[in-house]
Amino acid sequence: MTPYCRSLLDQTVATYLSRGVRNLEEVQAALERRLAPLVLEQAGDGVILAIASLAEDRVIGEVSLWLRDVDPRTFEVGFAVLSDVQGRGYAREAVRALLTVTFDHLAAHEVIGIADRRNVASASFMHRLGMRARPGAEETSQRVLFAIDGHGWQTEDHSGRVTTHTQGSKD
């Protein structure tokens, strides 16, 4: 079994994912789907990318991007990192890169993220990215919807601090 497949079977991480815990056959089927050509034209199209630690020479998680709505272009970002490497900045680096590509090259109007209410770390992480909790159709008693639009991403300095712009500012 590859390190990537093992990462998808990590029950500590999978507990908080909408897809839940998978068995080996489900992981192998998901891997085959992920190897298909990338197209982001219709709602439901998406990509899942591995997060690798070069220092440890292993796959330690994933980031995903799904086109939720074509007009306006709304994407959903997801992320999961193995529990033994959480808090080291891997997810931050991967998600920021993915958001930059999404807004700068895929003409996103908005990007959303959904967190399990019990997963305080994910909710805090999305908040630090500049995403804000937003009541909406995806919010349930167990899940919270976070969102950021292109303007919010542009005003974020990507270090976790929000840059304020005043009227007449040349920024």
At residue 54, does pLDDT exceed 70?
Answer: yes
In this prediction the pTM is 0.71
Are the C-beta atoms of 87 and 122 separated by less than 8 Å? no
- Whether 168 has a pLDDT exceeding 50, the answer reads no
Residue scoring higher pLDDT (157 or 78): 78
The pLDDT confidence band at residue 8, using thresholds 50, 70 and 90, is low
Domain edges within the chain = 3-155
Does 26 have pLDDT greater than 50? yes
Q: What is the mean pLDDT of the chain?
A: 80
Question: 17-22: long-range contacts at Cβ-Cβ below 8 A with a sequence spacing of 24 or more?
Answer: 17/78, 17/80, 18/114, 18/143
Q: What is the mean pLDDT of residues 31-52?
A: 80
Fold of 3-155: Aminopeptidase (3.40.630)
Written as one letter, the residue type at 119 is N
